Amino acid sequence: MASEITGVPGAEIKLAVVKAPNGHKIELLEYLAPADRKKNASLRPCDVGHVHIALTVENLEALLQKIATSGWKAAGKPQTLTVGPNAGKRVIYVRDPGGTTIEFMEPPSSA
């Protein structure tokens, strides 16, 4: 069935669904086959075809320490946005071991 849905002959997929508040869901897919698939993403955030998701987190520093032990790498250093609808949030792009980019956003503390 995965081949018919994706158009990728021989596709085998491992799937997880992350449920977020307000009924939002994020599907995470890992292709296990075909054998000739690329195993690492090499696209940069500025390249056509690159995609990422942004997730709001509560403790950015603790999260960065935790994911570093799993082979995730920060693309840069956390920055605090100063303009726009996300002003005040600390943000950073990270890459998982396969090269997928995820943006983490930490809202300003309400202190």
Q: Return the higher-pLDDT residue of 9 and 52.
A: 9
Report the pLDDT averaged over residues 56-84: 93
- The set of residues, in sequence order, having a beta carbon less than 8 Å from that of 6 and lying 6+ positions away, is 13
Does 39-111 carry CATH code 3.40.50.300? Answer: no
Please give the pLDDT value at position 110.
60
CA angle 57, 19, 27 (to 5 degrees): 100
Contacts of 63 (CB under 8 A, 6+ apart): 57, 104
Q: In the prediction, which pLDDT does 111 show?
A: 46
Mean pLDDT along residues 70-78: 92
Tell me the H-state helices in 38-103.
Answer: 60-68
Please tell me the predicted confidence (pLDDT) of residue 100: 84
What pLDDT score was predicted for residue 78? 95
The residues of the chain that CATH labels 3.10.180.10 are 39-111
Residue % of the chain over a pLDDT of 90:
45
